[in-house]
Structure formats: structure tokens, C-alpha cells
Amino acid sequence: MLLHGCVWRAAAGAGHVTVACLGAPGHPQARRLYYGVGFRELTRDAPLIKATTSG
């Protein structure tokens, strides 16, 4: 599924694909999956998002 998503995005014109592998040091299987299909670490900083609430 991961590779299918990469191919789909490339066909749509994407120049790169970014994934957030949060907690990867604690989950080596996830890191191996991403490295195994060609992803490389860009940064260890994770973007922070805060949902807005109405009211």
C-alpha cells in the first residue's frame, strides 16, 4: 500500500513523498519498513498541529 501510494502521488505530479514515522526509535519495524522502500530521514522534528474548537 505504501508503494502504491508513492506511485499514485508521482503519477499526480508529486516530486516527493513525506511520511511522519513518529516514535520510530521505539518501533524499529516501522523504521525498517520506510528505509526498506527508499525513504531516508529528513528531520527528527515533528510538525505540531492544534485543532481549533468552536465556541
Whether 34 and 19 have beta carbons less than 8 Å apart is answered as yes
CB under 8 Å to 22, separation ≥6 — which residues?
A: 46
Q: What is the pLDDT of residues 17-28, one digit of tens each?
A: 888 776 666 778
Every domain of the chain and the residues it spans: 17-43
Cα–Cα distances in Å, from 38 out to 17, 35, 46?
Answer: 11, 5, 20
State pLDDT tens for residues 1-55.
Answer: 888 988 898 899 988 888 877 666 677 888 888 889 888 888 777 667 777 776 5
For residue 11, the model assigns a pLDDT of 92
CA atoms within 13 A on the CB side of 22: 3
Number of CB atoms found within 10 A of residue 21's CB: 15
| pLDDT score, position 55 | 54
Q: Which pLDDT belongs to residue 24?
A: 60
